[in-house]
Amino acid sequence: MTNVKLAVIYYSAGGTNYRLAGWAEEAGREAGAEVKLLKIPETVSQEKIEANPVWKEHAIETACIPEVTLADLEWADAIIFSVPTRFGTMAGQMKSFLDTTGRLWASGKTVNKVVSAMTSAQNPHGGQEATLLSLYTSMMHWGAVIATPGYTDPSIFGAGGNPYGTSVTVGQDGKMIEDVKAAVKHQAKRTVTVAEWVKKGNQ
């Protein structure tokens, strides 16, 4: 059996979800997957990005990261999304991209993709769980297999105990409050494992 193909797809304005995605990429490789780290295309004007020093710095830092395409989704056996919370739902940039996947969905090419998701917000009750659930709703329409972390490892409790996916609170200084690296890595490895099970079942 060929290795699981894992796409780690993130949107990040200030860098938090980029870091979460980086840990997931690392764990995916450790689990033996072939991994692509990909970013969601930006929909905000360059003028607005230039006006925000943090946003501008992060855009420069990640200029070399390729933007995700529909071909990447078709390639992947498993997908881990990392996206910030915006008013209790996923950031508009992620939703805009998902809205372009109708052709893949209509041709059955999203069926049985194994998916999992992570998120961040400025406070623990700012919509972290709701954001993950909103993304998973789209995945249900895809016919995807959703692989949440549940409570399958002690690291999840240390990261705040979100069973839907790793979530982290970001302080006003832009730094993560909870220590979530171990939870992210567990979630990524679990996603690869579930994808291996699905892949074996299809052979």
User: Which one-letter DSSP state was computed for residue 153?
Assistant: S
- pLDDT surpasses 70 at 171: yes
- pLDDT surpasses 90 at 129: yes
pLDDT value for 44: 84
pLDDT band for 8, please (50, 70, 90 cuts): very high
Alpha helical stretches, state H, the chain: 16-30, 46-50, 53-61, 70-75, 92-98, 102-106, 128-142, 154-158, 181-201
Region 154-159 average pLDDT: 95
pLDDT band for 54, please (50, 70, 90 cuts): confident
pLDDT band for 1, please (50, 70, 90 cuts): low
Q: Rounded distance, CA 75 to CA 143, Å?
A: 16
**pTM for this entry:** 0.95
pLDDT value for 50: 84
Q: Rounded distance, CA 52 to CA 36, Å?
A: 28
pLDDT band for 202, please (50, 70, 90 cuts): low
Domains and CATH numbers, the chain: 5-201 (3.40.50.360)
The dihedral sign for the CA sequence 115, 147, 6, 85:
positive
| Model pLDDT for residues 81-114, shown as the tens digit of each residue | 999 999 999 999 999 999 999 999 999 999 999 9
What residues have CB less than 8 Å from 16, skipping those under 6 apart?
Answer: 84, 120, 168, 170, 174, 176
Q: What mean pLDDT value characterizes the chain? A: 94
pLDDT band for 145, please (50, 70, 90 cuts): very high
